[in-house]
């Protein structure tokens, strides 16, 4: 008769130093329904996995329980191991005796006793677990890219280069985003304009790309791999079917004259000689002679962190690119006008990109003065502007006279970020920008399958960082599009039609929109392609009709009952 196999991992000294694993193993030898009991130094290692596989090959095992580290670390590892020998991966139970036992209990006897209880619960639960089988859904081989800046253009060009159809949706009348207003960049190795024009031309020339300017996404229906997207254009609403969505909507800039969180003491909007970095970029690109209000500019002061790193406002984050932009603009201006005076008032200069540190040093050699401080006010003194600031190196108040003040305004999430977040199911981080699923393991993905992130909508980025993230999102989105199918996890909610009263509380609780009422009956139904197995519906259901596969009440209660036995 087949029974359960029980394996206990030492995890080096992480578990074995506190838990007496040999004693734990011995306590389960000969237990009813247990056919194999083993302990091993590192079960996640190749020899450890081979140990499990060899036992499965020998036969006599119908269930597997592994006591080791957190399931977040190696649950998938062990599932693949048992599945490779023909055992359904959902007939395996992972018990955490590291984070939940050895790491939190210094007393060896207590930790060992608790490990036995956790294993006893895991054993009782695995006996009630059932085989589950994943499925697949067909994927529409077309991608939607929302946003036509460097990130969106790069993603579009890469997808089209792989032979995939792309719909590029841009709400403005032209492509390029804010990069179209940038003259020179460290990271692109010179002028941005020619590079950007070439990229836009490449997108327009592709037969696989449909460019929709002046268009905005207003609706999204369907499931991962099969979205129906509605866009509002000048001629009305249009719908496109797509298998993946890349959000590349970019960011906006802080406005010092904002009625809610502006800084009126800086005088922006009232004085033509107090401008933003973007305005100054236009002056640099406009011609050889830089003049404002008809008068030449012989002195410029750059003020950093305007709307950024301000804990009293929404912009407590660092906008990353402002320092490098000021360094480049200061160097460009000083190169053009060697006799002009240029000052940069900063809190912390963060010139991290390739070539930025060299530009900072070059600017200093040309005579640009970098003053560590924080500006508090700007006022007029005749024809000059006076910047009042605190010199944080000596702790004294200081004043600086200049002809022109350039405000380095920080990047902010776009004004429609909440609506876009709701539309695509893309979560926002504490700073308001879109949050990736995992910063290292899934940097281009969102919590919603089939929806990806690229560019400055995720965080402030340089042009080359935006390009890289656009290509990364395209590479990730291309996988299911080229393959033609996407997997559906079997751990999803299910609803008992006989117990369901159609109250709709489960649908209200579902954060993924996976539950809706059936058209011909007053009961709810689950769309497995949208369900993420979070269990919110199960907790909200008053009639106990909604349950979660692999986490049914009888399975969980059996585990809990074993703890108290």
Which DSSP string corresponds to 161-209?
HTT-EEEEEESSSSSSGGGGG--EETTTTEEHHHHHHHHHHHHHH-TTE
Domains assigned to the chain: 3-132 (3.40.50), 142-251+413-486 (3.50.50.60), 266-280+297-400 (3.50.50.60), 493-549 (3.30.70.20)
Helix extents (H) in 337-391: 356-366
Q: Which residues contact 309 (CB under 8 A, 6 or more apart)?
A: 315, 316, 317, 318, 347, 410
d(CA 485, CA 6): 36
pLDDT of residue 330: 94
Residue 204 burial class via C-beta count within 10 angstroms: exposed 0-12, middle 13-18, buried 19 and up = exposed
d(CA 199, CA 509): 44
Pairing of strands 396-402, 299-306: unpaired
* 38 membership: H or E segment, kind and range: strand 34-40
DSSP 3-state helix, strand, coil percentages of the chain (rounded to 5)? Answer: 35, 30, 40
pLDDT of residue 168: 98
- pLDDT of 292 over the 80 cut: no
- pLDDT of 146 over the 90 cut: yes
What are the CA-CA distances from residue 200 to residues 33, 150, 151, 191, 209 (Å)? 66, 9, 12, 15, 11
- Picking from 134, 144, 152, 153, the residue whose alpha carbon sits closest to that of residue 221 is 144
State the number of CA atoms in the 13 A half-sphere of 16 facing the CB.
13
Residue 553 burial class via C-beta count within 10 angstroms: exposed 0-12, middle 13-18, buried 19 and up = exposed
Give the count of beta carbons closer than 10 Å to the beta carbon of residue 85: 15
Calculate helix-pair angle for 150-161, 192-205, nearest 10 degrees.
40
- pLDDT of 1 over the 80 cut: no
The SS3 call for residue 16 is helix
Position 311 confidence tier, pLDDT thresholds 50, 70, 90 = confident
Which tens digits make up the pLDDT trace of 427-482?
999 999 999 998 998 999 998 899 999 999 999 999 999 999 999 999 999 999 99
Give the tokens for residue 397.
């108040």
Contact 323/409 with Cβ under 8 angstroms?
Answer: no
Q: Which residues contact 557 (CB under 8 A, 6 or more apart)?
A: none
Which tens digits make up the pLDDT trace of 53-65?
999 999 999 999 9
Q: Which of 108-112, 179-183, 485-489 has the lowest mean pLDDT?
A: 179-183
* 118 membership: H or E segment, kind and range: helix 108-128
Angle at 560 between CA 559 and CA 563, to 5 degrees: 95
Which tens digits make up the pLDDT trace of 378-409?
998 887 899 999 999 888 899 999 999 999 99
The alpha carbon torsion through 102, 103, 107, 108 (nearest 10 deg) reads 30
Pairing of strands 341-346, 369-381: parallel
What is the percent of the chain where pLDDT is above 70? 98
Nearest 5°: phi and psi at 254? -60, 140
pLDDT of residue 288: 61
pLDDT of residue 258: 86
What are the CA-CA distances from residue 73 to residues 93, 224, 489 (Å)? 14, 26, 19
Q: What is the mean pLDDT of the chain?
A: 93
- Picking from 336, 391, 334, 337, the residue whose alpha carbon sits closest to that of residue 365 is 334
């Amino acid at each position: 008769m087949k029974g359960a196999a029980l394996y206990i991992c030492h995890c080096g000294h992480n578990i074995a130093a506190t838990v007496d694993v040999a004693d734990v193993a011995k306590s389960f030898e000969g237990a009813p329904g247990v056919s194999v009991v083993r302990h091993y130094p590192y079960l996640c290692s190749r020899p450890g996995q081979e140990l499990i596989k060899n036992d499965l090959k020998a036969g006599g095992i119908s269930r597997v329980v592994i006591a080791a580290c957190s399931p977040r670390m190696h649950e998938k590892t062990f599932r693949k191991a048992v599945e490779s020998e023909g055992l359904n991966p959902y007939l395996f139970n992972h018990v955490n005796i590291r984070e939940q036992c050895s790491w939190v209990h210094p007393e060896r006897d207590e930790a060992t006793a608790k490990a036995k209880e956790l294993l006893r619960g895991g054993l009782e639960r695995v006996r009630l677990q059932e085989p589950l089988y994943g499925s697949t859904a067909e994927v529409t081989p077309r991608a939607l890219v929302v946003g036509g800046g460097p990130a969106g253009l790069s993603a579009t060009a890469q997808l089209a280069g792989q032979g995939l159809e792309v719909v590029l949706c841009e709400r403005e009348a032209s492509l390029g985003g804010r990069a179209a207003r940038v003259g020179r960049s460290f990271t692109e190795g010179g002028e941005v304009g020619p590079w950007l024009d070439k990229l836009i031309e490449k997108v327009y020339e592709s037969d696989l790309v449909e460019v929709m300017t002046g268009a905005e996404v207003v609706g999204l229906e369907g499931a991962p791999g099969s979205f129906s997207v509605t866009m509002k254009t000048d001629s009305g609403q249009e719908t496109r079917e797509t298998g993946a969505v890349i959000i590349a909507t970019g960011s906006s800039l802080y406005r010092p004259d904002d009625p809610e969180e502006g800084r009126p003491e800086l005088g922006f909007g009232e004085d033509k000689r107090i401008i933003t970095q973007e305005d100054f970029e236009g002056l640099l690109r406009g011609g050889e002679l830089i003049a404002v209000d008809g008068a030449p500019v012989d002195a410029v002061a750059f003020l950093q962190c305007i709307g950024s790193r301000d804990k009293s406002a929404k912009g407590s984050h660092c906008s990353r690119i402002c320092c490098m932009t000021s360094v480049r603009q200061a160097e460009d201006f000083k190169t053009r006008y060697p006799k002009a005076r240029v000052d940069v008032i900063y809190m912390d200069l963060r010139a991290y990109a390739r070539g930025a540190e060299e530009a900072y040093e070059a600017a200093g050699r040309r005579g640009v003065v970098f003053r560590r401080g924080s500006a508090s006010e700007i006022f007029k003194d005749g024809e000059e502007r006076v910047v009042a600031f605190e010199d944080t190196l000596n702790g004294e108040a200081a004043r600086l006279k200049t002809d022109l003040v350039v405000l380095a305004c920080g990047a902010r999430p776009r004004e429609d970020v909440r609506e876009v977040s709701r539309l695509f199911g893309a979560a926002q981080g504490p700073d308001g920008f879109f949050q990736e699923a995992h910063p290292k393991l899934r940097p281009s993905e969102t919590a919603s399958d089939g929806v990806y992130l690229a560019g400055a909508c995720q965080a402030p980025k340089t042009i080359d960082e935006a390009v890289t993230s656009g290509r990364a999102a395209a590479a990730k989105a291309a996988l299911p599009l080229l393959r033609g199918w996407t997997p559906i996890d079997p751990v999803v909610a299910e609803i008992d039609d006989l117990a369901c009263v159609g109250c709709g509380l489960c649908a209200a609780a579902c954060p993924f929109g996976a539950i809706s009422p059936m058209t011909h009956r007053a009961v709810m139904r689950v769309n497995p392609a949208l369900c993420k197995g979070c269990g919110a519906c199960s907790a909200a259901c008053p009639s106990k009709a909604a349950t979660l596969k692999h986490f049914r009440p009888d399975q969980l209660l059996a585990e809990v009952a074993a703890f108290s036995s």
